[in-house]
C-alpha cells in the first residue's frame, strides 16, 4: 500500500491514474522513518538522563536491557519496510507492546527527578511517533490506500478531472 506525498516530480498523469506532481511512498517506508525518529529520540534521552544523573537504574546506557531494547527497536524499523504479512504482524505486535509499556509502565518510573522539559518532550513526542506508526501499520494491514481528496489536489494546482468538462 502507498501513501501520497508531495514532490516536484512531474511524473504520472491522467493515464497512470496519478496526479501530476505526486509520487507514492510505501507505508513501510513511512513507518520505518517514524520508528527511527522515535528510537533515536529515545537513545538521545537515555544518554541525556545518564549525563544528568537522572536515569532509571534498570534502563541505563550500560544495562543490557537498554542495548537489547534498542537493537530490537531499530530492527523493527528495518522490518517495517517488509511487505510480508508476518513482518507486518511482528511490527504491529511490537508497537502495541511498546505503547503499552509507554502508557502503563513508564509513568511508574518517571519520577519527579526525570520530569524535566526534555523528559516530557521526549515522552510525548516518542509516544506520538509510535501511535502514528501504529496507525499506519493498521491501515497497511487493512489494505487501505491513503490518497489526497480532490479539493486538496485542486488547491495545489493538480488533480484528476471529474467528468467530460473537468
Rg (CA), the chain: 20
Check residue 16 and report its DSSP letter: G
Ranges of beta strands (E only) in 2-115 are 2-6, 22-26
- Yes or no: say if 54 and 102 are a contact pair by the CB < 8 Å rule: no
Per-residue confidence (pLDDT) for residue 30, from 0 to 100: 95
Identify the CA nearest to 5 among candidates 20, 19, 25: 25
State how far the alpha carbon of 11 is from the alpha carbons of 6, 18, 27, 157, 166, in Å.
Answer: 12, 8, 20, 15, 20
Out of 6-15, 17-26, 81-90, 148-157, give the one with best mean pLDDT.
Answer: 81-90
The answer for residues whose C-beta is within 8 angstroms of residue 95's C-beta and 6 or more apart is 76, 130, 133, 134, 137
Identify the band that residue 43 occupies on the pLDDT scale cut at 50, 70 and 90.
very high
Whole-number Å distance between alpha carbons of 166 and 157: 13
How far apart CA 161 and CA 20 sit, in angstroms, is: 12
Select the more confidently predicted residue: 153 or 98.
98
pTM, rounded to two decimals: 0.75
Degrees, nearest 5: CA angle 55-35-64: 40
Amino acid at each position: 500500500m502507498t501513501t501520497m506525498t508531495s514532490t516536484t516530480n512531474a511524473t504520472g498523469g491522467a493515464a497512470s491514474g496519478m496526479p501530476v506532481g505526486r509520487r507514492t511512498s510505501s507505508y513501510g517506508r513511512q513507518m520505518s522513518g517514524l520508528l527511527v525518529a522515535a528510537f533515536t529520540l529515545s537513545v538521545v534521552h537515555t544518554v541525556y538522563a545518564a549525563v544528568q544523573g537522572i536515569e532509571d537504574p534498570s534502563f541505563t546506557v550500560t544495562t543490557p536491557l537498554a542495548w537489547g531494547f534498542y537493537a530490537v527497536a531499530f530492527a523493527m524499523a528495518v522490518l517495517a519496510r517488509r511487505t510480508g504479512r508476518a513482518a507486518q504482524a511482528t511490527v504491529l505486535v511490537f508497537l502495541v507492546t511498546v505503547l503499552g509499556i509507554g502508557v502503563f509502565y513508564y509513568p511508574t518510573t518517571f519520577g519527579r527527578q526525570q520530569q524535566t522539559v526534555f523528559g516530557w518532550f521526549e515522552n510525548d513526542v516518542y509516544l506520538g511517533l509510535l501511535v502514528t506508526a501504529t496507525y499506519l501499520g493498521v491501515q497497511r494491514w487493512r489494505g487501505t490506500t491513503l490518497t489526497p481528496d480532490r479539493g486538496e489536489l485542486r488547491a495545489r494546482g493538480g488533480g484528476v478531472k471529474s467528468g467530460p468538462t473537468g
